[in-house]
Structure 1
Amino acid sequence: MEKFAITLIIFTVFWGLIGIVLPFLIPKGQNKRLIQVMLTLTSACCWLFWLCFYLHQWKPLFGPQLKRDNARIIRSLWGSEF
């Protein structure tokens, strides 16, 4: 498996445990249902935020864009080594 798949599986299992398993472990009380809903929604939103952030880092839509003049200036200042 590649690094992308392993990371995706680990974080999905982590947020899945928080959103699916943890709500069943909440002790009985007046606000049990509210806490269960909060845990489920929080885990779903955090997983979705992480997924969007990770996919954006993995395959960006566009890279840095330099104008031709700026690229020439940088090349002359930094030298041809970079």
Structure 2
Amino acid sequence: MEKFSISLIVFTVFWGLIGIVLPFLIPKGPHRRLIQTMLALTSACCWLFWLCFYLHQWKPLFGPQISSVDARALKVLWGQDL
């Protein structure tokens, strides 16, 4: 199994437990429904933030931007003449 798949499964299970299982374990009280909603929304937002952050590093939309003049200067300075 690929490293990406393992981390995706682990974090999905972790935030799924917090957002789906944990709300059912909240004791009865006047604010039970509010706490359940907060747990579900928090876990969904944290999982989505983690997923966007991880995907952005895994497949960036664009690489480093460098002008052609700078690239030529670096090649000369690093010993790779054109």
Same fold per superposition (TM over 0.5): yes
Q: Matches of residues 6-25 of structure 1 in structure 2 within 5 Å?
A: 6-25=6-25
How much identity, in percent, do the aligned residues show?
77
Alpha-carbon RMSD: 1.1
Provide the secondary structure at the position in 2 that maps to 1:60: coil
**Runs (5+) with no aligned partner, structure 2:** none
Return the TM-score normalized by structure 1. Answer: 0.90
Aligned residues: 80
**Runs (5+) with no aligned partner, structure 1:** none
| More off after superposition, 32-41 vs 59-68 | 59-68
> Equivalent residue for 1:30?
30
* Runs of 4+ in structure 1 over 4 Å off: none
> Equivalent residue for 2:62?
62
Q: CA deviation at 1:67?
A: 0.8
Provide the secondary structure at the position in 2 that maps to 1:61: coil
Q: CA deviation at 1:74?
A: 2.2
Q: Equivalents in 2 of 1:14, 1:75: separation in Å?
A: 47
Q: Equivalents in 2 of 1:5, 1:75: separation in Å?
A: 38
Q: CA deviation at 1:72?
A: 1.7
Opposite residue 6 of structure 1, the aligned amino acid is I
